[in-house]
Amino acid sequence: MIAETGHYALILALGVAIVQMVLPLIGTRTRDPQLMAVAAPAAQLEFILIAIAFIALMTAYVTSDFSVENVWRNSHSAKPLLYKIAGVWGNHEGSMVLWVLILSLFGAAVATFGTNLPRQLQANVLAVQGSIGVAFLLFIVITSNPFTRLDPAPFDGQGLNPVLQDPALAFHPPFLYTGYVGFSMAFSFAVAALIEGRIDAAWARWVRPWTLAAWMCLTLGIAMGSWWAYYELGWGGFWFWDPVENASFMPWLAGTALLHSALVMEKRDALKVWTVLLAIITFSLSLMGTFLVRSGVLTSVHAFAVDPARGIFILAIMGVFIGGALALFAWRAPLLSQGGLFAPISREGSLVLNNLLLTTACAAVFVGTLYPLALEALTGDKISVGPPFFNFTFAPLILPLLIAVPFGPLLAWKRGDLLAAAQRLMAAACLALAITVLVLAFQQRGPWLAPFGIGVGVWLIAGAFTEIAYRVKLFDTSRSEAWRRLRNLPRAAYGSALAHSGLGLVVIGIVATTAWRSEQILALKPGETADIAGYTLTFKGVAPRQGPNYRERVALFTVTRGGKEVTELTPSKREFTVEKSGTTEAGIHASWRGDLYAVLGDQLKDGAYSVRLYFNPLVRLIWLGAVVMFVGGGVSLSDRRLRVGAPKRAQAKIAAVPAGE
Partner 1 sequence: MTRKQRRGILIGTSLVVLGVAVGLVLFAMRNSIVFFYSPSEVAKMQIAPGQRFRLGGLVETGSVVRSEGTTVRFVVTDMAKALPVTFTGVLPDLFREGQGVVAEGTLAADGTFQADNVLAKHDEKYMPPEVAKKLKEQGVWRGDAQAGTPGAPGKVN
- Which residues of the shown chain bind partner 1 in the complex (CB under 8 A)? 7, 69, 145, 147-154, 161, 163, 233-235, 299-301, 303, 341-344, 352-353, 356-357, 360-361, 363-364, 367-368, 371, 381-386, 388-389, 392-393, 396-397, 521-523, 573, 580-584, 599, 601-602, 604-605, 610-612
How far is it between the farthest Cα atoms of the chain? 83
Cβ closer to partner 1: 349 or 451? 349
Q: How far is the CB of 637 from partner 1 (least distance, A)?
A: 30
Residue pair 597/588 in contact (Cβ under 8 Å)? The answer is: yes
Q: How far is the CB of 605 from partner 1 (least distance, A)?
A: 5
Q: How far is the CB of 574 from partner 1 (least distance, A)?
A: 9
Cβ closer to partner 1: 169 or 507? 169
Cβ closer to partner 1: 55 or 153? 153
Cβ closer to partner 1: 133 or 408? 408
At residue 538, the 3 state secondary structure works out as strand
Q: How far is the CB of 301 from partner 1 (least distance, A)?
A: 4
- Residues ≥6 apart with Cβ < 8 Å to 550: 162, 574, 575, 576, 577
Cis peptide before 152 (omega within 30 of 0): yes
Q: What pairing do the DSSP bridges indicate for beta strands 572-576 and 581-585?
A: antiparallel
Cβ closer to partner 1: 394 or 494? 394
Three-point CA angle 368, 372, 375, nearest 5°:
125
**Alpha-carbon span 354 to 268, nearest angstrom:** 16
CA terminus-to-terminus distance, the chain? 55
Residue pair 216/634 in contact (Cβ under 8 Å)? The answer is: yes
Distances from the Cα of 75 to the Cα of 41, 149, 166, 174, 271, angstroms: 36, 15, 14, 19, 50
Half-sphere exposure of 16 (CA within 13 A, CB side): 23
Inter-axis angle of helices 167-196 and 201-232, to 10 degrees?
A: 160
Distances from the Cα of 352 to the Cα of 69, 233, 394, 408, 515, angstroms: 51, 39, 19, 10, 32
Q: How far is the CB of 340 from partner 1 (least distance, A)?
A: 8
Q: How far is the CB of 397 from partner 1 (least distance, A)?
A: 6
Cβ closer to partner 1: 385 or 631? 385
Q: How far is the CB of 518 from partner 1 (least distance, A)?
A: 15
Q: What are the φ/ψ torsions at residue 405 (nearest 5 degrees)?
A: -50, -50
Q: How far is the CB of 88 from partner 1 (least distance, A)?
A: 19
Q: How far is the CB of 18 from partner 1 (least distance, A)?
A: 23
Cβ closer to partner 1: 285 or 458? 285
Distances from the Cα of 197 to the Cα of 191, 518, 526, 555, angstroms: 9, 58, 74, 66
Cβ closer to partner 1: 305 or 438? 305
Cβ closer to partner 1: 10 or 213? 10
